[in-house]
Amino acid sequence: MIKVGIIGATGYGGAELVRLLAFHPAAKVFAATSRSYIGKSYSEVFENFRHEEELVLQEENLALIAKKCDVVFLALPHGIASKKVTKEVLQDTRIIDFGADFRLKDVDSYEQWYGVTHHSRNLMDRAAYGLAEIYREDIKKSRLIANPGCYTTASILALYPLIKEGAIHHEDIVINAASGVSGAGRGLDLGLHYDEANENVKAYKVGTHRHTPEIEEHLSKACGKDVVLSFTPHMVPMNRGILVTANAKLAIKAAHEDIFALYEKYYGSEYFIRLTKKGISPETKWVKASNFCDIGFHIDERTGRIIVMSALDNLVKGAAGQAVQNMNLLFGLEERAGLDLAPVFPA
């Protein structure tokens, strides 16, 4: 049985992680921390977790938890993990970080976009980017996994086969994306209040969203050229879900069947990626509470562009589910272990 520690277990990502691990056949949560609920049982914080009453929330001590657990998930905001993760911690345990601290190989870019100092530059070469469908072998060999962002996961998976094969021009990519309000976390924010978010759709962090360089870095790596793209996120009044609509100029003349075959080449054997049929666009309701990412596309012959759509649950494939998928890879388990769950509908 894999002994699991969770630092930050009472945020939305941490709670989703507890939910998934409760049914995992080979893992059990042995330590869970919270700043606000130290000493409380998990079910006192979340009544839906009554089966987890024996899990008592404790004060965070990563060094101590690392010695007791086989893997520790850091469900924390950016700017914290780089202060806490050390070579000594990585000798004792494996780390899967939900935050952005180890995602960008260009640390100067990280500091510029996130506005904080990175404290573990010496560990960046040891971090694997936790997008299993692309970096599976790197993940298996690493003790430090940078779990990708939710917007990033949906965007990279949507465009990766196209840009890898040179099917689209790398310099003319536009991504619009929409997220449910849980993507902003559990913190108090006026914009997340019911009266502010309900019956409203808005763009935010236009031209400045921190997932932008993460998407650019991995698409650039895929095509061997510097990708600079336009990314605009939107908040929509739903609890969870991500929908990405990405469009780019086609570099080849191709019919729908040709592009579909290209996606099949990369994702045909990937259980968690589902390609939609021609004329069917992905919807967030079809992936809710699951680790699936649905991808569909439309070729606009009039403009010579391709529109790619992807949908995923920001708390599962965009966070906790992807983290469990990475844990399974680290320990040589079936990748679907604890994640072979059908989406919930209606919800």
Show which residues are catalytic.
150
SS (H, E, C) the chain: CEEEEEECCCCHHHHHHHHHHCCCCCEEEEEEECCCCCCCEHHHHCHHHHHHCCCECECCCHHHHHHHCCEEEECCCCCCHHHHCCHHHHHHCEEEECCCCCCCCCHHHHHHHHCCCCCCHHHHHHEEECCHHHHHHHHHHCCEEECCCHHHHHHHHHHHHHHHCCCEEEEEEEEEEEECHHHHCCCCCHHHCHHHHCCCCEECCCCCCCCHHHHHHHHHHHHCCCCCCEEEEEECCCCCCEEEEEEEEECCCCCHHHHHHHHHHHHCCCCCEEECCCCCCCCHHHCCCCCCEEEEEEEECCCCEEEEEEEECCCHHHHHHHHHHHHHHHCCCCCCCCCCCCCCCCC
- Neighbouring C-beta atoms of residue 145, cutoff 10 Å: 28
Residues whose CB is less than 8 angstroms from the CB of residue 147 and which lie 6 or more positions away in sequence, other chains included? 96, 97, 98, 130, 319, 322, 323, 326
